[in-house]
Homo-oligomer: A and B are copies of this chain.
Amino acid sequence: METVRVCLVGAGRAGMVHGVNLARHVPGARVVAVVDEREEARRRAAAELGASADFPTLRDALQAAEFDAVVIATPTYTHRDLAVEAARAGKHIFCEKPMAIDAEQALAMIEAARSAGVVLQIGFMRRFDEDFVRARALIEAGEIGEPLFIRSTTRGPGLPPPWAWDTAKSNGMLAEVNSHDFDCVRWLAGSEYERVFARVRARKAEEPRRLHPDFYDVAVVTVELADGTLGAIDGACPSDYGYDARVEVLGSRGLLTVGQVPDGTVVQVTQDGRVTRQAFRSWRDRFRTGYLGEAREFVECVRTGRVPRVTGVDGLRALEAVLAAVKSIASGVPEPVVRHAVAAGEAARR
Contact = CB atoms under 8 A, between A and B. Distances in A.
Interface of A: 24-25, 27, 130-131, 134-135, 138, 143-144, 146, 148-149, 151, 155, 197, 199-201, 203-204, 218-220, 222, 224, 228, 230-232, 234, 236, 239-242, 244, 250, 252-262, 264-271, 273-281, 332-334
Of A257, A273, A332, most buried by chain B (CB within 10 Å of CB) is A273
9 contacts: A144-B268, A146-B203, A149-B234, A220-B230, A254-B268, A255-B269, A257-B266, A258-B265, A261-B275
A259 B239 CA distance: 21
Contacts of A135: 266
B241 A270 contact: yes
Contact of A151 (B219, B222, B234): B234
How many identical subunits does the complex contain? 4
Nearest to A132: B266
B268 A204 contact: no
A281 B130 CA distance: 14
Contact of A271 (B155, B240, B333): B240
Given A240-B254, A241-B254, A258-B265, 7 more contacts: A148-B204, A197-B222, A219-B230, A220-B230, A260-B267, A262-B275, A273-B281
Nearest to A155: B250
A265 B218 contact: no
B239 A250 contact: yes
Contacts of A232: 151, 220, 222, 232, 234
Given A230-B201, A276-B276, A256 B267 contact: yes
A228 to B, nearest CB: 5
A278 B256 CA distance: 12
